[in-house]
Amino acid sequence: MKPLLDGLRRLGQYPSALVGLAIIFALVGTAVFTVVTIPYGQALELWRGGEPWRMHPVNARPVWVDRIAGNNSPRTMVVSSADAVIEQEPFVGGSRVRIPLDFDFGYADFPSELNLFLTSTHVEREPFVRLTWETPDSREFILGGRRLAREERVSISQDWELERRLGRVPHVGLFAGPAEDGPPQVLEGRYRLMLDVILFEEDARIDADLVVYGRVHGLAGTDHQRRDLMVALLWGIPVALAFGLLAAVGTTVTTLVIAAAGVWYGGWVDAVIQRLTEVNIILPMLPILVMVGTLYSTSIWVMLGVVIALGIFSAGIKMYRAMLLPIRESPYIEAAKAYGAGNARIILRYMIPRILPVLIPTFVTLIPSFVFLEASLALLGLGDPVLPTWGKVMNDAQTQSALYHGFYYWVLSPAALLMLTGLGFAMLGFALDRVFNPRLRTM
């Protein structure tokens, strides 16, 4: 094992190895951080979408995209009744409540959506609410009244009646200046949504959250289901690394041991292994995976199993066999037989270690190819349906025509991470290749 350690020590001379290692360590560190901060169960819960994301905008760009473009796009604002100055006038069998939801709007662009979430603690008799929108220049818009269930979501943006009155979608119309002609201009200043509530029960309370959805969000943006893409980009790292590493280890180790066993036992064992390999080599892997994904299961672990199973009798067997055949005949193997070493010992301790140094670079460059395979499967819609992965993000982007709508970040950020992963392992692999295959060093 000493030459192996010496070889690894020599890696320091290759800048590409250091860069590759830095990338890999950064990815591994981030993966560990992700798994610790967002546990597996929570990640699945988040990625299912829906309720946890109701206060997130749809298809918001990452903040940095906005910065680079020099825009001042609105962020998401949540105006809560908990911070408001509430006036309450009780009467027999109920009370009258005025909740002013005030906020300053100072962005150069209109918000992307406007929603009001109401929670009431009434038991039987539903409270009644009347909504009034006040602009900084003291115009008032009546947004109508309604009875409230315990959980109520008032989608102001989807109020068709209001849209007809404003002549524009509400989240634009409500924030636009008074000018009637020309494109709407954002009116900056202090806005207020006044809630006039009549509660018909003395103990009832009401809470309100006005969400003014922005057009940018976080470092990664959001998708069509309001999910923060950061969850998928972060969780994609451990998933990709685990898949790549397990698949690479699984295929390399089994392939190596089987090749060595074939070489050692020879005869019909070798013949069977070689024929199986030849048949397996011509079987196309991707269509088989597509079939498994379509007909059986798209669970990433099933896919991993199939990838390893198909990878066992791969072309690697031919390569290892060619490398092991001369080793089988070497005198030290004969010596081992002469002092009684068993077959397993000879294969695992005497034959395989001999080609291990040559194998390591191949192994390292094999990892990203499996990462890409997993992403390709997900892109084809065969990704694990519950797991957030890079391929899944790109698949969503594709089905939502992200590029057509100009949501470049949606495709580019997972693609960049995939490339970074490939780059890290490739740079390390090439340096390892030079260390362990010294003949390449002079070239």
Partner 1 sequence: MNASAREVRSSVPGPVLSARDLHTWFELRQWGFLRVGSVRAVDGVNFDLQTGEAVAFVGESGCGKSSLARTLLGLHQPTRGEVIFEGRSLGTLDGAERKAYLARVGYVQQDPYGALPPFMDVRRILHEPLIVHGVRNRAERDQRAREALEEVRLSPPEDFLSKFPHMLSGGQQQRVVIARALILRPAMIIADEPVSMLDASVRVEILQLLRRIQIDHGLTLAFITHDLSTVRHFAERIFVMYAGRIVEQAEVNELLNHPQHPYTQALLAAISDPDPDNARQQREVPPGEPPSLLKPPAGCRFHPRCNRMIAGTCDREYPPDLEPRQGHGTACWLYR
Enumerate binding residues for partner 1 (CB under 8 A). Answer: 1-4, 330-332, 334-342, 345, 349-350, 353-354, 356
Toward partner 1, which CB reaches closer, 33 or 332? Answer: 332
Min dist CB 268 to partner 1, Å, is 10
Min dist CB 436 to partner 1, Å, is 12
Toward partner 1, which CB reaches closer, 324 or 387? Answer: 324
**Burial of 249 by CB count in 10 Å (0-12 exposed, 13-18 middle, 19+ buried)?**
middle
Min dist CB 338 to partner 1, Å, is 4
Min dist CB 59 to partner 1, Å, is 57
Toward partner 1, which CB reaches closer, 178 or 340? Answer: 340
Toward partner 1, which CB reaches closer, 207 or 334? Answer: 334
Min dist CB 359 to partner 1, Å, is 13
How far is it, in rounded angstroms, from Cα 64 to Cα 62? 6
Toward partner 1, which CB reaches closer, 219 or 341? Answer: 341
Toward partner 1, which CB reaches closer, 337 or 405? Answer: 337
Min dist CB 367 to partner 1, Å, is 24
Toward partner 1, which CB reaches closer, 63 or 341? Answer: 341
The 3 state secondary structure assigned to the chain is CHHHHHHHHHHHHCHHHHHHHHHHHHHHHHHHHHHHHCCHHHHHHHHCCCHHHCCCCCCCECHHHHHHHCCCCCCCEEEEHHHCCCEEEEECCEEEEEEEEEEEECCCCCCCEEEEEEEECCCCCCCEEEEEEECCCCCEEEEEEEECCCEEEEEHHHCHHHHHHHCCCHHHHCCECCCCCCCCCECCEEEEEEEEEEECCCCCCEEEEEEEECCECCCCCECCCCCEHHHHHHHHHHHHHHHHHHHHHHHHHHHHHHHHHHHHHCHHHHHHHHHHHHHHHHCCHHHHHHHHHHHCCCCHHHHHHHHHHHHHCCCHHHHHHHHHHHHHCCHHHHHHHHCCCCHHHHHHHHHHHHHHHHHHHHHHHHHHHHHHHHHHHHHHHHCCCCCCCHHHHHHHHHHCCHHHHCCHHHHHHHHHHHHHHHHHHHHHHHHHHHHHCHHHCCC
How far is it, in rounded angstroms, from Cα 78 to Cα 72? 18
How far is it, in rounded angstroms, from Cα 426 to Cα 16? 9
Min dist CB 273 to partner 1, Å, is 15
Toward partner 1, which CB reaches closer, 186 or 351? Answer: 351
Min dist CB 220 to partner 1, Å, is 47
Min dist CB 334 to partner 1, Å, is 6
Toward partner 1, which CB reaches closer, 26 or 271? Answer: 271
Toward partner 1, which CB reaches closer, 139 or 349? Answer: 349
Residue with tokens 């590029």: 403
45 contact partners, CB below 8 Å, separation of at least 6: 52
Min dist CB 337 to partner 1, Å, is 6
